[in-house]
Amino acid sequence: MLIAVTGDTHYGDKTKNLPSLLFEHLEDKKPDLILHTGDVTSHELLEGLEDFAPVVAVRGNADHLSLPEEQVVDVEDVRIGILHGHQFFSLNAQFLTLKALDMGVNVLVFGHTHRFYHDTYSIHGERVILLNPGSPTFPRMDSPGFAFLEVDGGSVRVRRIRFW
């Protein structure tokens, strides 16, 4: 299963441009699901993403949309947790890994920093993948882009997509 992961789009508050390069990749790859890590800031953007695949989104600190703080999605044999990250004092790997264990997920996707991050940690005998897709519209000290998660049974592969 192919899952597109994006976040920190800030459409309507920090940018007036819809992320056309994101839409081009979605049209080309045709993901089965899209995860948005928050700071959507516009129903219009959510509707645009839903033209490509079902969307699961969470509320970020800049959102005034009625979205949950966190969600868990089961994909094949993998549990994926989604949250924005503004809830934490620090977005360090230890806090995020412990949050993933608390949520009972194998993968935790988060946003808030507007920078891509991907790593795998083992704690208490559990393996956890952490992923921040960055931002396709408003990156901070990073290239704009997003990520794909490829889930095959219980295995997960992360692919970063940079726009330039």
Q: What is the pLDDT of residue 19?
A: 75
Q: What is the pLDDT of residue 126?
A: 87
User: What class does CATH assign to 2-162?
Assistant: alpha beta
Flag residues of the chain having pLDDT under 70.
Answer: 14, 18
Question: Sign of torsion, CA 80 82 87 89?
Answer: positive
Q: Do the beta carbons of residue 77 and residue 5 sit within 8 Å?
A: no
Q: What is the pLDDT of residue 70?
A: 97
Q: What is the pLDDT of residue 89?
A: 74
Task: Give CA 75 to chain center in angstroms.
Answer: 15
d(CA 22, CA 146): 8
Instruction: Residue 83: name the closest of 104, 99, 66, 64 by CA.
Output: 99
